[in-house]
Amino acid sequence: MNEILFKFAAPQRFYPLAGRMIPFFAVLAVLFGAAGLWLGLAVAPIDAQQGEGYRIIFVHVPAAWMSMFIYLVMAFWAGIGLAFNTRLSGMMTTALAPTGALFAFLSLWTGALWGKPMWGAWWVWDARLTSSLILLFLYIGFIALQAAIDDPRRADKAGAVLLLVGVINVPIIYFSVQWWNTLHQTGSVSLTKSPTMAAVMFWGMLLMALAFWMYSIAMALMRARCIMLERERHTEWVKNLLGTTPHATRG
C-alpha cells in the first residue's frame, strides 16, 4: 500500500494520472450541480417562515462546508509535507488554496445576502461570522505568504506552518454556534442526529455539496498539474513530456 502511495506521490506519475481524472470529476460536478439546483430551486417546497428566501441555503451551506473541509485537507498536506519532505504536498496546498478562498468568500457573500432580508443585517460580529471571516483571511494570508517567497521549498514550509497554526480556527467555526450565543442559527445537519429540514431540501443540499466536492477536486488537479510543470521544468520527465531537450530550448 505504501509503495503504491509513494509511487503516485512522485510528480512524474501523478501528472498523467491527474490528467485522466480531471474530466471524470468535471462531468460529475456538472451532473450533481444540475441535479442539486433542480431539487433546490424547482422541487423543494418553500419554507414556512422564510418563504422562497431560504433557497440560498443550497449554495451557502455547501460553500461553507467546503471552505472548512478544504482547509483541513490543506492542513493535512502541510503536516505530511513538514514531516516527510514530500514534493507533492506543497503543490497540493498551493493548488487547493484558491478554491478554498473562493468558497470562504462565497459562504460570506451568500450569508450576507441571506442575512439582510431574514435577520435585518448584512453583517454582525457574532462568533460564527467572525471566525468565518478569519478563515478567509487565513486563505488569503497563505496565498500571499507563499507568493512572497521565491524559493518554492521555503515557501511551502512557511505556508505549511501558517496552515497548521490556522487549523485551530476550523473547530472554532464549526462549534461557535454551540459554544456561544450567536445570531447565526445552529446547524440543521449533523452526523449524530437526523437533519432538521424537509427530506427533499436535505437532498438538494447534499447534491450541491457533492457538486462542490467534485468541482474542487477537478480544479485542484488542474492547478496541481500546472504547478508540477512549472516547478519541475528542469527535470527530465517534463522535458520529455513537452518534447523539449535542453539543446532545443531557447530562452
Q: Which residues bind another protein (CB under 8 A)?
A: 45-50, 54, 57, 79, 82-85, 117-121, 124-127, 164-165, 167-168, 172, 179-183, 185-188, 196-198, 201
- 56 or 219: CB nearest another protein: 56
In the bound state with another protein, the residue whose beta carbon lies nearer, of 181 and 192, is: 181
Considering beta carbons, is residue 178 or 245 the nearer one to another protein? 178
Shortest distance, position 114 Cβ to another protein, whole Å: 10
Query: Closest distance between another protein and the C-beta of residue 128, in Å?
Result: 9
| For another protein, the closer CB: 205 or 221 | 205
Cβ 205 to another protein shortest distance, Å: 10
Task: Specify whether the CB–CB gap between 243 and 64 falls below 8 A.
Answer: no
Burial class of 53 by CB neighbour count within 10 A (0 to 12, 13 to 18, 19+): middle
* CB 23 to another protein: min, Å: 35
Distance (Å) of CA 158 to CA 78, 87, 151, 244? 10, 14, 11, 33
Q: For 59-115, give the DSSP string.
A: HHHHHHHHHHHHHHHHHHHHHHHHHH--HHHHHHHHHHHHHHHHHHHHHHHHHHHHH
Cell numbers found for residue 214 = 467534485
